C-alpha cells in the first residue's frame, strides 16, 4: 500500500488507536502519526513505546495540519473533544471515530464540526478485553469488518479515502446507515456484553458457589463470559446509555426467548430444546464460513490477539 494520509491525529491512545497506529505503520499508510490522550500517564507510556511519531499534550495541537483525525475516546467524551478541536481542524480534513454507537456519535460530534471538514463516522468490529496504549497490535483488524456510516451529503471521495485506509489496515469495509448499525450492534455486541456482565455478576452474588470454586472450575462458557466482562467499563457504560432504544428492544426479545426456554426445561420439553439448539448452532457455522472465526479447538482460550470482543 502507498501513503493515504500525510498526517493522522489519534485522539485517545487505547487499544483501538494503538492498533491503528501499528497497522498504519505496517502498511506505510501515513507519513506522520500524531497522538494525544487526556491522561499524562497514557501520553508518557505512548512516548516510551514510540506508539506515534509525536505525542502532544492537547488535542488541539494534535489535529493541527492533520488530514485525518480519529476520535478514539469514550462516546460520552465525544462532544467535548469535537468542540475542542473544531477551531483547529485543517480545511479538507476528514474526521472519523471508532465508537460502537453511531447515531449518538453523529448527534454529539456533527454540530461542532466546521463546514470545511468531512465527517465519516466509523466502527471497527474488533477488540480485546485489554485497554491502554500497550494493548494495541497491528493484526487486530485483519479480516475483521469496519463499518462506515457517513451522514447524508458526505463527500464520497472522503469516504472512499477512509475506506482505503481501513483496507490497508487489513479490514473488510462496508457502509451502513447509522440507525441500522446501532440495531445490528445491539444484537451482535451490546446485548451479549450485557448478558456476560450479568452472568458474571450472578456468579459473584451466588454465595453458595464460593469465589475459589468459580475461579478453579470455570468451564469454557463462563470463562468466555469473564473475558468479555473484563472490557473497559467506561466505554460500555457509554455504549448502553447511547444505544438505549436498540439495546432495550433486543433485551426484550431475549427475555421472551429465555422465558420460552425456562418453560421447556420446566415441562421437560426436550424436543423444543433440541430444535432451538440446532437452529442456533447454525449461526455458529455461518460465522466460521464467513471467516470471522475458526473451528479449530482452542480449549486453552489463548485470546490475546483474536480481536473479537467488539
Q: Which three cell numbers stand for residue 287?
A: 460465522
Does residue 87 sit in the same domain as residue 198? Answer: no
Does residue 261 sit in the same domain as residue 151? Answer: no
* Least confident residue range of 79-88, 209-218, 238-247: 209-218
Does residue 143 sit in the same domain as residue 106? Answer: yes
pLDDT in tens, 14-58: 999 999 999 999 999 999 999 999 999 999 999 999 999 999 999
Predicted local distance difference test score (pLDDT) of residue 78: 95
Q: Where are the beta strands (DSSP E) in the chain?
A: 5-11, 30-36, 54-55, 68-71, 94-97, 118-119, 122-124, 145-148, 172-175
Predicted local distance difference test score (pLDDT) of residue 235: 83
pLDDT in tens, 127-140: 887 889 999 999 99
Predicted local distance difference test score (pLDDT) of residue 206: 65
**Which of the listed residues 176, 202, 230 is the one where a domain comes to its end?**
176
pTM summary value: 0.82
Predicted local distance difference test score (pLDDT) of residue 305: 46
What 3-state DSSP class applies to 132? coil
The domain of 56 spans: 5-176
Per cent of the chain over pLDDT 70 is: 89
Using pLDDT thresholds of 50, 70 and 90, give the confidence band for residue 104. very high
Residue 159 or 199, more confident:
159
Predicted local distance difference test score (pLDDT) of residue 207: 54
Does residue 13 sit in the same domain as residue 143? Answer: yes
Does residue 251 form part of some domain? yes
Predicted local distance difference test score (pLDDT) of residue 87: 98
CATH number at residue 210: 1.10.3660.10
Does residue 115 sit in the same domain as residue 21? Answer: yes
pLDDT in tens, 33-44: 999 999 999 999
Using pLDDT thresholds of 50, 70 and 90, give the confidence band for residue 297. low
DSSP 139-188: GGGTT-EEEE-PPTT--HHHHHHHHHHHHHTT-EEEE--HHHHHHHHIII
Does residue 155 sit in the same domain as residue 57? Answer: yes
Comparing CA positions, the residue from 55, 118, 111 lying closest to residue 89 is: 118
Q: Evaluate whether 193 touches 251 at the Cβ level (below 8 Å).
A: no
What's the helix, strand, coil split of the chain in %, to 5? 55, 10, 35
pLDDT in tens, 246-270: 999 999 999 999 999 999 999 999 9
Does residue 296 form part of some domain? no
CATH number at residue 55: 3.40.50.720
Using pLDDT thresholds of 50, 70 and 90, give the confidence band for residue 300. very low
**Which of the listed residues 121, 156, 176 is the one where a domain comes to its end?**
176
What distances in angstroms separate CA 238 from CA 23, 101, 286, one per listed residue?
26, 9, 30
Alpha helices in 188-229 (DSSP H): 191-205, 211-216, 220-229
Does residue 131 sit in the same domain as residue 242? Answer: no
Does residue 172 sit in the same domain as residue 88? Answer: yes
Whole-angstrom Cα distance, residue 288 to residue 293?
5
pLDDT in tens, 161-207: 999 999 999 999 999 999 999 999 999 888 888 888 888 787 776 65
- For residue 141, report the phi and psi dihedrals to the nearest 5 degrees: -95, -5
Does residue 171 sit in the same domain as residue 250? Answer: no
Predicted local distance difference test score (pLDDT) of residue 216: 65
Amino acid at each position: 500500500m502507498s501513503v493515504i494520509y500525510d498526517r493522522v491525529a489519534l485522539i485517545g491512545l487505547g487499544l483501538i488507536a494503538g492498533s491503528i497506529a501499528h497497522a498504519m505503520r505496517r502498511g506505510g499508510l501515513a507519513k506522520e502519526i500524531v497522538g494525544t490522550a487526556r491522561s499524562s500517564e497514557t501520553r508518557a507510556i505512548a512516548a516510551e513505546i514510540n506508539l506515534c511519531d509525536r505525542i502532544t499534550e492537547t488535542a488541539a495541537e494534535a489535529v493541527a495540519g492533520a488530514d485525518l483525525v480519529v476520535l478514539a475516546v469514550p462516546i460520552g467524551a465525544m462532544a467535548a473533544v469535537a468542540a475542542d478541536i473544531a477551531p483547529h481542524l485543517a480545511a479538507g480534513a476528514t474526521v472519523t471515530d471508532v465508537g460502537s454507537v453511531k447515531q449518538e456519535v453523529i448527534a454529539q460530534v456533527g454540530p461542532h464540526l466546521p463546514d470545511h471538514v468531512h465527517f465519516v463516522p466509523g466502527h471497527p468490529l474488533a477488540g480485546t478485553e485489554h485497554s491502554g496504549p500497550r494493548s494495541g497490535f497491528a493484526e487486530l483488524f485483519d479480516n475483521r469488518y469496519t463499518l462506515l456510516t457517513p451522514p447524508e451529503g458526505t463527500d464520497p471521495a472522503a469516504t472512499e479515502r477512509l475506506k482505503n485506509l481501513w483496507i490497508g489496515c487489513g479490514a473488510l469495509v462496508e457502509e451502513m446507515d447509522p440507525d441500522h448499525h446501532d440495531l445490528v450492534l445491539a444484537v451482535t455486541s451490546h446485548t451479549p456484553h450485557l448478558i456476560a456482565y450479568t452472568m458474571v455478576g450472578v456468579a459473584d452474588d451466588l454465595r453458595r458457589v464460593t469465589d475459589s470454586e468459580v475461579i478453579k472450575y470455570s468451564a469454557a462458557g463462563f470463562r468466555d463470559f469473564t473475558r468479555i466482562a473484563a472490557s473497559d467499563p467506561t466505554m460500555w457504560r457509554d455504549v448502553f446509555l447511547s444505544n438505549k432504544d436498540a439495546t432495550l428492544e433486543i433485551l426484550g426479545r431475549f427475555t421472551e426467548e429465555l422465558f420460552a426456554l425456562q418453560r421447556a426445561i420446566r415441562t421437560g420439553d426436550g424436543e423444543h430444546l433440541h430444535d432451538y439448539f440446532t437452529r442456533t448452532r447454525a449461526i455458529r457455522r455461518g460465522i466460521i464460513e464467513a471467516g470471522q472465526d475458526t473451528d479449530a479447538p482452542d480449549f486453552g482460550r489463548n485470546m490475546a490477539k483474536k480481536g473479537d470482543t467488539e
